[in-house]
Structure 1
Amino acid sequence: MRILQYLGRRAALVMALGVFIGLALPDLATVAKPLLAPTVIFMLTLAMTRTDASSLGRTSRRVGTNLIALLWLLVVTPCLFHFALTWMQVPEALAIPLLIWSGSPPLVTVPVIALIIGLDAAGALFLMIVSTFTFPFVLPGLLFWLTGLDVELGAGALTLRLGLMIAGCALVATVLRRKLGPSLLREKSALIDGIAVLLMLVFAVSVMDGVRAWLEKDPITVLLYTGAAFAASLALQLTGGLIFFWTDRENRLAIALCSGNRNMALFMAAAGSALGSEAFLFFAVAQFPIYILPVLLKPVYRFLSEKRLSPQTNQEKK
């Protein structure tokens, strides 16, 4: 128990270690790979359990802001990336996975990351759920229009599978919240966060499967793709925070976090056979900013979130 509580309090640092463990121990990464799907389900359930239902309700009522944020995440950012990548003459082998990444929904684990860096998870959770259901109907057509890449995701079947997963996690989380109660959840928050971090550690190790071989074979390409992943994540977190300056701080920071942490795995699982091996390499190295940036950006997000909203702004949110 104490170990889990310690992990919860040192969550950002422990997360960063995960990807390096996966690189250093490639056999462990191979063994852990079958745990990818169940790990995601457990992490989402824990994030939903820790998220306050009233905060989620308030977030869902911001219809205008939510629609604009959805457009930003799924339409505007891939279009901006396409124009930027074309202007910079980035090779297609890297440009295509970057474009797919920029049009993907936020990570399923983004509410966990929000909790770890000290943000309210409700906004991140809401945007993740809505974007995840929407992107199968948007990204394939957008990719075809921008690049001519014809990919069929099977939007209906994919949405149904995602819906069942999210509904199942929500049901279990609701039961847990009612059984434990708000006071016990607050008291055990470090323990719950520790379990979530342990699950993210397993995920980080498992997703590194095959990266060590790439690194030994072509280190320059791996470093290039890793640098591109960091640059893309930082650029979108900064831009997302700046563009939504007009909304409240809580919402703005959630949008910024969602902007730079994308779930490319859903696209890769549904249509990865239509892509080259470079896309899978980018998907793997894109985990580096996901796991390393929280430890670097946590003080920044904490500083920004600690500037409390005025009573008038709080009243407007209600």
Structure 2
Amino acid sequence: MSLKLISELLCIPRAGLGFLGRQGTRAVAASAIAGLMLPAFSEILRPWIPHAIFALVVLAFLRVEPAEVARRFKRPLLIAVVVAWIMAAVPFAAGLAAHAFGLEAWSPGLMLALFIVTAAPPVMSAPAFAFLMGLDGALSLAVMVSCVLVVPLSAPFVAGFLLQDALPLEPLILARNLAGLLVGAMAAAWAIRKLAGPARLEAARVEIDGFNVVLLFIFMIAAMDGVVARIWSDPLLVIAITSLSFAVAGLQIVLAYLVFARLGRADAFTIALATGNRNMGLIVAALGGVVPDVTWLYFALGQFPIYMLPMILKPVARRMATGAPAL
């Protein structure tokens, strides 16, 4: 086999990743639907969810230059306020509402789902989504990284408030699992950046976005374990939980945008998207993937807003991106 042929063969997967990366939000939304079409693989891939989450974290740290993130940290008080909103204000407000309506007694599984969807940091793909939507990925990554660093400390306190004794894992073990996953991912990203160099990473941005799409697709297939069977056995429950997940994500987005609107439309919308799209998989992975059926159903169906809202909201994001940045 000639070197030319070998080179051409090696270019095929890179070209495929580049195509997926250029398709952006459309490819991500399509992967959500495609994940439902492969239920036979869901059970096989479910144990790999923690590994997919780990890889997505690594890609998130690779996607934006550290200098750009450092520029955003020149306003540390503002980043701290955003993190406090996402990681403390939102989950505690949700907890007060849930306790007021007696959700913990009516459905402990949904109460655990509420913990997962509000205690989690923004999705690791938030910077990639921001780039794909024409928004500031550096701001998104700065917020996401800050929330990720905080979550091992904040999640146990949120769990204590929301779940009290119903947490399926000791708070310290939850914190340890989250910290271990994040430190490992940061170390892996640092090693890759050192080996590849900034120039190669810059040249491979589109391919990295494409690989992100592939990982999201694999993650979606794994998350759909048991969901297709539920669609046939209890379609009304599936519709209700899907609608609820869109409503929760939408409410978080709208409230965050209103709270931070004074920062400028583009930055406020970037923060709002990070607030509404939470990395539930990170918390589920830290819990060992062992959650009640209703909680798993919400976790699985809650991926649809994450995968589809970037495409749905992209026209809005383009208009927002014309606003002058506040930072």
Shorter-normalised TM range: 0.7 to 0.9
List per-residue Cα deviations over 1:58-113 (Å, max 9, x = no partner): 22232211222122112211233244456777653535423441232222332232
Which of residues 10, 24, 29 in structure 1 aligns to 2:42?
29
| 1:188 counterpart = 2:201 | no
| One-letter amino acid of the counterpart of residue 284, structure 1 | A
* CA distance in structure 2 between the aligned counterparts of 1:266 and 1:214, rounded to whole angstroms: 24
Aligned residues: 311
1:126 alignment partner in structure 2? 142
2:244 alignment partner in structure 1? 228
1:268 alignment partner in structure 2? 284
Instruction: Assess if the C-alpha contact under 8 Å between 2:252 and 2:275 holds in 1.
Output: yes
Distance 1:44 1:266, change over 3 A: closer
Distance 1:267 1:173, change over 3 A: closer
Cα displacement (A) at 1:274: 8.6
Distance 1:300 1:214, change over 3 A: same
The alignment yields a C-alpha RMSD, in angstroms, of: 2.9
1:48 alignment partner in structure 2? 61
Instruction: Assess if the C-alpha contact under 8 Å between 1:140 and 1:151 holds in 2.
Output: no
List per-residue Cα deviations over 1:199-247 (Å, max 9, x = no partner): 1111111111111111111111111000000011111112111101233
Distance 1:296 1:231, change over 3 A: same
Cα displacement (A) at 1:10: 0.9
Q: Give runs of aligned pairs for residues 239-318 of structure 1, distance below 5 A.
A: 239-249=255-265, 251-271=267-287, 276-309=292-325, 317=327
* CA distance in structure 2 between the aligned counterparts of 1:139 and 1:178, rounded to whole angstroms: 32
* CA distance in structure 2 between the aligned counterparts of 1:231 and 1:88, rounded to whole angstroms: 17
2:263 counterpart SS class = coil
Please report the TM-score for the alignment, with normalisation by the length of structure 2. Answer: 0.82
Cα displacement (A) at 1:154: 4.0
* CA distance in structure 2 between the aligned counterparts of 1:260 and 1:82, rounded to whole angstroms: 16
Unpaired stretches in structure 2, ≥5 consecutive residues: 1-13
Greater shift, 76-85 or 5-14, is seen at 76-85
2:84 alignment partner in structure 1? 71
Distance 1:163 1:286, change over 3 A: same
1:246 counterpart SS class = helix
| 1:16 counterpart = 2:29 | yes
Instruction: Assess if the C-alpha contact under 8 Å between 1:137 and 1:155 holds in 2.
Output: no
Cα displacement (A) at 1:56: 0.8
Instruction: Assess if the C-alpha contact under 8 Å between 1:250 and 1:305 holds in 2.
Output: yes
Instruction: Assess if the C-alpha contact under 8 Å between 1:40 and 1:109 holds in 2.
Output: no
| 1:204 counterpart = 2:200 | no
| One-letter amino acid of the counterpart of residue 120, structure 2 | S
2:232 alignment partner in structure 1? 216
Q: Give runs of aligned pairs for residues 77-156 of structure 1, distance below 5 A.
A: 77-85=90-98, 91-92=106-107, 93-146=109-162, 148-151=164-167, 153-156=169-172
Instruction: Assess if the C-alpha contact under 8 Å between 2:61 and 2:189 holds in 1.
Output: yes
List per-residue Cα deviations over 1:262-313 (Å, max 9, x = no partner): 122343344579963211111111111111111111221122123344xxx5
1:105 counterpart SS class = coil
Distance 1:61 1:163, change over 3 A: farther
Aligned-residue sequence identity (percent) comes to: 29
1:124 counterpart SS class = helix
List per-residue Cα deviations over 1:129-162 (Å, max 9, x = no partner): 3323433433444444456554274444444444
1:108 counterpart SS class = coil
| One-letter amino acid of the counterpart of residue 91, structure 2 | P
Distance 1:20 1:274, change over 3 A: closer
| One-letter amino acid of the counterpart of residue 285, structure 1 | L
2:278 counterpart SS class = coil
* CA distance in structure 1 between the aligned counterparts of 2:264 and 2:113, rounded to whole angstroms: 32
| One-letter amino acid of the counterpart of residue 21, structure 1 | A
* CA distance in structure 2 between the aligned counterparts of 1:172 and 1:183, rounded to whole angstroms: 18
Distance 1:248 1:274, change over 3 A: same
* CA distance in structure 2 between the aligned counterparts of 1:268 and 1:186, rounded to whole angstroms: 32
